[in-house]
Chain A
Amino acid sequence: MSGILLGGIYALMSIGLNLIFGVVKVVNFAHGEFLMIGMYIAYWAFALYGLDPYVSLPLVALSILALGALTQGLIINPLLKTKDINQVLATIGLMIFLENLALFLWKSDFRSVLTAYSAASISMGEIRLSLSRIFAFAVAMSTAIVLYFLLTKTDVGRRIRAVAQDAEAAELMGIDHRRIYIATFGLGGALVGVAAAAMSPIYYAFPTVGALFGPTAFIVVVLGGLGSFIGAMIGGLIIGIVESIAGVLTNAELAKAFAFAIFLLVLFRKPTGLFGERARV
Chain B
Amino acid sequence: MSKKRKFGRGWATFLGIIVALALVPLLRPPPYVTHVLVLTLLFAYLGTAWNLIGGYGGQLSLGHGAFFGLGAYTSTLLFMNYGLSPWIGMAIAAGVGAGSAALIGYPCFRFGLRGPFFALATLAFGLIVVELLTAFREVTGGSLGIFPPYLGNAPHLFQFASKEAYYLIILALWAFIILLVRGMRRTRYYLVAIREDEEAAAALGVPVRKYKLLAAVISGALSGIGGTFYAQYFSYLNPESAAGLALSVEILTVAIFGGMYGLMGPTLGSAILTPISELLRIWLGGTYLGVHLMFYGLLLILVIIFMPRGVLGKLEEALKRGLEF
Contact = CB atoms under 8 A, between A and B. Distances in A.
B298 A93 contact: yes
Given A93-B298, A268-B111, A271-B113, A260 B127 contact: yes
Interface stretch (A54-62, A82-90, A176-184, A237-245): A82-90
B88 to A, nearest CB: 29
Interface stretch (B36-44, B115-123, B181-189, B202-210): B115-123
Interface residues of B, number: 45
A50 interface: no
B301 A93 contact: yes
Interface string A69-112: 00000010011001111111110111111111101100110000
Contacts of A27: 116, 119-120
B293 A89 contact: no
Contacts of A78: 305
Contacts of A268: 107-108, 110-111, 113, 121
A256 B133 CA distance: 12
Contacts of A103: 288-290, 294
B62 interface: yes
A264 interface: yes
B75 interface: no
Contact of B117 (A86, A108, A253, A271): A271
B297 A93 contact: yes
Interface in A138-157: none
Max count, chain B CB within 10 A of own CB: residue among A87, A108, A263: A263
A123 interface: no
Contacts of B305: 75, 78-79, 90
B304 A79 contact: yes
Interface size class of A (residues with CB under 8 A): 35 or more
Interface in A26-85: 26-27, 29, 75, 78-79, 82-85
B131 A257 contact: yes
Contact of A107 (B108, B111, B289, B301): B289
A108 B288 CA distance: 10
A3 interface: no
Nearest to A86: B304
Contact of B294 (A79, A86, A100, A261): A100
A215 B124 contact: yes
B58 interface: yes
A26 B115 CA distance: 10
A164 interface: no
B298 A90 contact: no
A269 interface: yes
B312 interface: no
B194 interface: no
Contact of A254 (B111, B131, B297): B131
Interface string B3-18: 0000000000000000
A218 interface: yes
Interface string B240-273: 0000011001001100100000000000000000
A26 B121 CA distance: 16
A209 interface: no
Nearest to B112: A271
Nearest to B127: A260
Given A99-B290, A253-B132, A256-B127, A92 B300 contact: yes
B294 A97 contact: yes
A129 interface: no
Contact of A264 (B124, B134, B299): B124
B124 A92 contact: no
B288 A104 contact: yes
A94 B296 CA distance: 10
Contact of B301 (A26, A97, A257): A97
Contacts of B249: 92, 96
Given A88-B60, A92-B300, A257-B131, A271 B111 contact: yes
Contacts of B139: none
A263 B124 CA distance: 8
Interface in B94-116: 104, 107-108, 110-111, 113, 115-116
A136 interface: no
Of B108, B111, B135, which is in contact with the most chain A CB atoms at under 10 Å from its CB? B135
A7 to B, nearest CB: 20
Contacts of A92: 62, 119, 249, 300
A93 B304 contact: yes
B128 interface: yes
Interface in A261-275: 261, 263-264, 267-269, 271
14 contacts: A27-B119, A29-B119, A82-B308, A83-B58, A83-B115, A90-B305, A96-B246, A97-B294, A100-B294, A215-B127, A257-B135, A264-B107, A264-B121, A268-B113
Across the A-B interface, the 9 shortest Cβ-Cβ residue pairs: A97-B297, A93-B300, A96-B297, A100-B290, A253-B135, A100-B294, A103-B290, A257-B131, A93-B301
